[in-house]
Structure 1
Amino acid sequence: MRIAIHGRNFPESARPYIQSMFEELAKRQAEVVISEGYRDFLDKAGVAHYSEATYSTTEGVANADFIFSLGGDGTLLDAVTHVGPRLIPIIGINIGRLGFLATVAPPSIRLMIDALFTGQFSIDERSLVSVRSNQDIFGNLPFGLNDFTITRTQTSSMITVHTYLDGEFLNSYWADGVIISTPSGSTGYSLSCGGPVLLPQTNNFIITPISPHNLNVRPMIVMDSCQLAFEVESRSGNFLAALDSRSFTVETSVRISVQKETFPARLVKLSDDNFLNTLRSKLNWGWDIRN
């Protein structure tokens, strides 16, 4: 089995679990390939990884059976760009904080590896958002798992986002910006701006305004089979376009369209991985602090 591994820095408390993970993979004679940046960090941290093979994050990983993401949800979003259309299953190991996507706790790493080798897992396919424009904004990575956002730059005032749904005018959002969220991203930026939580397999996008000037403007759910298009007005002549964690300043002359990507992200789901349980534990639903 060939395992690709990507991660970020980790607290000292996680070191024994990460070292144990590499030892377990070596014991099972797995072929391990590590992202270049993470390999350098592991070497500096003194973690023995038993592998000299690396892959470039700009070129992406190929020919792997699985990719391990060690960090928080942001690290897993990075791993999605490393995989791209190759459909390599991703396992999120939560070395970060909240972790709606990275659901494997460090003490469960050995059990997770055993589940992979024995086939005791399922694949959860998550839809991606795809961004197209008349200017090359995101290069060869015009897709994201969580959301696409149009926001004002730090020095600009409120912007106007003229929005079209399948070619028909929908609304002009006078706001700090607009979020187009996938179901996976519904627990992220969109949620903090008042958007609804969607189950992962819901075939929808959420249009969530950011601090709208008109208080009667609310988040809207649309089918992900539609195409959204945007024209932006800004006094500064530019705005910020962000796709997951990648953001660029864009001129208002640029026209942008958003639709569902042709390929999904494939997340490994273990037997005890349940989205409703994750919601309750991460958002403290059903908890009463008086008890």
Structure 2
Amino acid sequence: MSSKSLTFALFGNLYQQEKSAAIHQVLACLKVHGARVVIDEEYYHFINEMCDVRSILSSSKCRFTTFSGNDFEADFAISMGGDGTFLKTACKVGAKHIPILGVNMGRLGFLADIAPADIEACLQALHDDDYAVESRAVIQVQADGQPLTDCSCALNDVAILKRDTASMISIRASINGEYLTTYQADGLVVSTPTGSTAYSLSNGGPVVVPGTGVLVMTAVAPHSLNIRPIVIPDTSEITLDVVSRSHSFLVGIDGRSEKCGEGTRITLRRAPYNIQVVKRSGTRYFATLREKLMWGADVR
């Protein structure tokens, strides 16, 4: 065990009771390392129904507390779940510049790429400073010049979407004040490189390597076949004006949807901070990409 004392903020998926063994393993590893653990209150109540957190972490060298919202400080944040849980963790971390370690409780993820079986080795690597941190751009969302929600930043993407089964919407898009086009579509996805392999990709957008300084605009089911994704510098300011027959539309920020009234101007720009993602030394993006997208696999 390292003599170095670190504080970890713990977040997790609230719908995976079958993963209690993995949660127990992570808590036990944190105890071995004498870590100070601060647990998201909602997640604490969830996992405490499956295992006695206090007894697992009980040690003279290991202390834990709970917190609500984003009222915490830590050396690292641990996200227990999949990429969706990682995005929620990133929302809570916000501008704190706390590196996030994603422990995947299911299949391999782009963000949550640490298997529970590897957590002990990963924690030791953190104590030994044997890890890498990737800085990921974030999109900031404003509605009529004001933050749309308490967490108005997206690590993956921002989606402007029609509501329910309403007819397609019209989205007038401008870049740095210059008119681009009016999308007649079910919606528009504006993604970071991190989010290029998510909703944007499913609508025909390109894969963009993280760290590339761009944003991708991809239409969702466009009415015109000549509408194509466009890649723009992430220094750009995007303004969107929406017209809808239902007189309202949805703004999805990393999957969290908010209803907006027709006439609300949405402004997107790169946030003044980045999200820090912990990667194991030797992790290779293209290897993950090949595995996740099954490139080269014979699916016949």
TM-score by length of 2: 0.92
Per the alignment, residue 180 of structure 2 pairs with: 170
- Please state how far the C-alpha of 1:246 moved relative to its aligned partner: 1.3
1:106 has 2:109 as partner? no
Q: CA deviation at 1:17?
A: 2.7
Amino acid at match of 2:65: A
Offset of residue 232 of structure 1: 0.5
Q: Is 1:97 matched with 2:107? A: yes
Superposition pairs of residues 101-140 of structure 1, within 5 angstroms: 101-134=111-144, 136=146, 138-140=148-150
**Which residues in structure 2 correspond to 1:198-277 (within 5 Å)?**
198-277=208-287
Cα deviation, residue 133, structure 1: 2.0
Deviation, structure 1 residue 9: 3.6
**Aligned match of 1:31:** 36
After TM superposition, give the deviation of residue 61 of structure 1 in Å: 4.3
Output one character per residue of 1:137-170: Cα deviation in whole Å (capped at 9) or x when no partner. 6333211100001000004101000000110000
* SS at 1:119 equivalent: coil
What percentage of aligned pairs have identical amino acids?
37
1:53 aligns with 2:76: no
Structure 2: distance between partners of 1:203 and 1:143: 17
From the superposition, tell whether residues 153 and 20 of structure 1 become closer, same or farther in structure 2 (CA, over 3 Å). same
Distance 2:150 2:24 in 1: 34
**Residues 232 and 69 of structure 1: CA distance in aligned 2, closer, same or farther (over 3 Å):** same
Aligned mate of 2:9, from 4, 28, 32: 4
Query: Are 1:135 and 1:254, in contact at CA under 8 Å, matched by a contact in 2?
Result: no
Separation in structure 2 between the aligned mates of residue 240 and residue 190 of structure 1, nearest angstrom: 16
SS at match of 2:46: helix
Structure 2 residue aligned with 1:186: 196
Contact 1:137 1:248 in 2 (8 A): no
What does residue 63 of structure 1 align with?
Answer: 73
The residue aligned with 1:142 is: 152
More off after superposition, 76-85 vs 9-18? 9-18
Q: Secondary structure at the match of 2:49?
A: helix
Alpha-carbon distance, 1:273 to partner: 1.9
The aligned residue for residue 24 of structure 2 is 19
Confirm or deny: 8 A CA contact 1:103 1:273 kept in the other structure.
no
Query: Structure 1 residues 15, 88: CA separation in 2 closer, same or farther (over 3 Å shift)?
Result: same
Distance 1:141-1:11 versus aligned 2 partners, 3 A rule = closer
Deviation at 1:235, TM superposition (A): 0.7
Runs of 4+ residues deviating >3 angstroms: 9-14
- Structure 1 183/12 Cα, relative in aligned 2: closer, same or farther at 3 Å? same
Q: Spell out, residue by residue over 1:202-246, the C-alpha distance to the aligned partner (whole angstroms, 9 max, x if none).
A: 100000000000001011100101100010011110101111021
After superposition, give the CA deviation of every residue in 1:99-145 in whole Å (9 maximum; x if it has no partner).
Answer: 11101011111111111111100110000001112165633321110
Q: Letter of the aligned partner of 1:112 in structure 2?
A: C
SS state at 1:45 partner: coil
Aligned residues: 288
- Residues 163 and 228 in structure 1, CA contact (< 8 A), matched pair in contact too: yes
Question: Residues of 1 paired with 2:149 and 2:91: CA distance?
Answer: 12
